Structure 1
Amino acid sequence: MRLFIIRKKTLFTIVVIALLGIISLIMFGVYNKAEETFNSDVYYQGNIDEKVIAFACNVDWGNEYIPEMLKIFEENNIKITYFVTGKWAEKNKDILKDIYSAKHEIGNHGYSHIDYDKLNYDRNKEEIQKAHDIIKETLGIDSKYFGPPSGAYNDNTVKAAKDLGYELIMWSIDTIDWRQDSTSDIIFRRVTQKAHNSAIVLMHPTAETVKALPGIIKYLFENGYNIGTISNVIKN
């Protein structure tokens, strides 16, 4: 009887070890798949290990705050990436030209500010291409970075973006500045507490972001970071 109990315990131990091994292999495979997606399809941060942080400003509204943002960046000799929707660009060509003439990088935010994860391949491609064409017509450039509105994308979005020659850009630090309870102090903490090499900071043209920017820039500079565009943190 005692020998049976010992053998039963041994068998149980073997089964547990085997299950742990299987779980580890599964997790390793998932991790590798995530790394593969990160490296080849979607960028949540840059791929260079340097103290550079990219600012990505998504624009579909907030015109009244853009001039002050541009002034702050000019005073600090900073160039960032503005992701603009095609619908906004159509209606605000002069503002778009002002942003570009200030030497900022222009990214594609899709034509409409909708959830691209709900679209099929053709609709994804249509929305990205339409915005691309408007930017091209207005500025004479071919954008190469696509930032999906609300960070919503699916496999169709990734494939459509790649087929159109775009890198799909997300973020590693979110200011969440569109929320009404996001004060400049909260935005400052959200950025500075998570600052890291090759980070991508998502922001929008809001009153509280404008208030927070000088302090954020000062903090990052004092801690040895450079601030730049998506192209400054992604090297292919």
Structure 2
Amino acid sequence: MGLSKPYVTGVFNNVSSKQQRKLPIYCVERDDKKISISFDAAWGADDTDEILQILDKHGVKATFFLVGDWVRKYPDKVKKIAAAGHDIGNHSNKHPHMGQLSKEGNKKEIMAAHEEVKKLIGIDMNLFRPPFGEYNNTVIEAAEECGYYTIQWDVDSLDWKELGTDPLIKQVLDNKHLGSGSIILFHNNAKYTKDVLDTIITGLKQQGYELVPISQLIYKKNYYLDHEGRQKPIKDNKQASLKIK
């Protein structure tokens, strides 16, 4: 499962000070109140049907990041997720620590899962979330070269800590990072996720948020990332002088 990573503005030990620090997309600058819910699926699948039912009840489309091994073990669940209109994202093939792999090793992990999903449901994924939320320049470059946007989150539900329902609800609805363009992290098989999802979605809607899949939240071109990993659109010539995607 993914682990919470705070915003970081420094440089990893394995990146020299002369290299540009690459960041994934943690959240998105938006003028509207659109946000995204995401689920990492790496281990079990017992709660997946109930999660899909809750999302359907609220008319919400989410993003599911799937590990290749999970896809092979639960192909019917993958088909259900896709049939319901949710985003399917790549969460690696075997859930390794990808920062310890070479660029070629990263590409093999990403593309093995990519081909597994394409073979099963015929789609080409383009959203990637590294296992454990761990990344470095090599990981992000490998994903880019495979045609992927690397996606993190700015609101961690902490469902993987299994702290109970009330702490989980408060962790999301009262999160200091929650705002327009936020990406919320859940796991499909964490103990309390299915029990709080209805309440959390209701609470988010009461706060005025519209929940959309990540593919509809992020900018696909003419953007840049600030030092916190916030994706921003290019609006003027000064911003255009930054690294444009």
Question: TM-score interval w.r.t. the shorter chain?
Answer: 0.7 to 0.9
Instruction: Give CA-to-partner distance per residue, 1:107-140, whole Å, 9 cap, x none.
Output: 0000011211111111111000100000110110
Point out the structure with max Rg over C-alpha: 1
Instruction: Look up the SS of the partner of 2:35 in the other structure.
Output: strand
**Pair 1:209-2:193 in alignment:** yes
Aligned to 2:38: 56
Please give the TM-score of this superposition, normalised by the length of structure 2. 0.78
User: Deviation of residue 47 (structure 1)?
Assistant: 3.6
- The percent identity for this pair of structures is 34
Aligned to 1:20: none
Give the distance between the partners of 1:42 and 1:179, measured in 2 at CA.
24
User: Deviation of residue 42 (structure 1)?
Assistant: 1.3
Cα distance, 1:218–1:124 mapped onto 2, change above 3 Å:
same
Number of residue equivalences: 202
Instruction: Look up the SS of the partner of 1:61 in the other structure.
Output: coil
Instruction: Look up the SS of the partner of 1:156 in the other structure.
Output: helix
Give the distance between the partners of 1:81 and 1:188, measured in 2 at CA.
19
Instruction: Look up the SS of the partner of 2:27 in the other structure.
Output: coil
**Pair 1:183-2:167 in alignment:** no
Note the aligned Cα RMSD (angstroms). 1.9
Instruction: Look up the SS of the partner of 1:82 in the other structure.
Output: strand
Give the distance between the partners of 1:149 and 1:99, measured in 2 at CA.
20
Instruction: Look up the SS of the partner of 1:63 in the other structure.
Output: coil
Give the distance between the partners of 1:211 and 1:62, measured in 2 at CA.
16
Which of 62, 73, 93 aligns to 1:80? It is: 62
Q: Contact 1:48 / 1:235 at 8 angstroms: preserved in 2?
A: no
Q: Contact 1:47 / 1:235 at 8 angstroms: preserved in 2?
A: no
Which of 158, 162, 180 aligns to 1:197? It is: 180
Aligned to 1:142: 124
Give the distance between the partners of 2:57 and 2:66, measured in 1 at CA.
23
Instruction: Look up the SS of the partner of 2:123 in the other structure.
Output: coil
Correspondence list, 1:1-12, <5 A: none
Give the distance between the partners of 1:37 and 1:74, measured in 2 at CA.
39
Unaligned runs of 5+ in 2: 1-8, 12-16, 221-245
Q: Contact 2:93 / 2:110 at 8 angstroms: preserved in 1?
A: yes
Instruction: Look up the SS of the partner of 1:203 in the other structure.
Output: strand
User: Deviation of residue 46 (structure 1)?
Assistant: 2.1
Q: Contact 1:108 / 1:145 at 8 angstroms: preserved in 2?
A: yes
Cα distance, 1:159–1:62 mapped onto 2, change above 3 Å:
same
Q: Contact 2:160 / 2:191 at 8 angstroms: preserved in 1?
A: no
Instruction: Give CA-to-partner distance per residue, 1:192-228, whole Å, 9 cap, x none.
Output: 1122110000100223111111111111111110112
Give the distance between the partners of 2:31 and 2:129, measured in 1 at CA.
22
**Pair 1:112-2:90 in alignment:** no
Give the distance between the partners of 1:94 and 1:128, measured in 2 at CA.
21
Q: Contact 2:24 / 2:151 at 8 angstroms: preserved in 1?
A: yes
Q: Contact 1:52 / 1:197 at 8 angstroms: preserved in 2?
A: yes
Give the distance between the partners of 2:56 and 2:195, measured in 1 at CA.
15
Cα distance, 1:37–1:155 mapped onto 2, change above 3 Å:
closer
Cα distance, 1:29–1:84 mapped onto 2, change above 3 Å:
closer
Cα distance, 1:219–1:166 mapped onto 2, change above 3 Å:
same
Give the distance between the partners of 2:53 and 2:33, measured in 1 at CA.
24
Instruction: Give CA-to-partner distance per residue, 1:10-47, whole Å, 9 cap, x none.
Output: xxxxxxxxxxxxxxxxxx999xx9xx867xx5100124
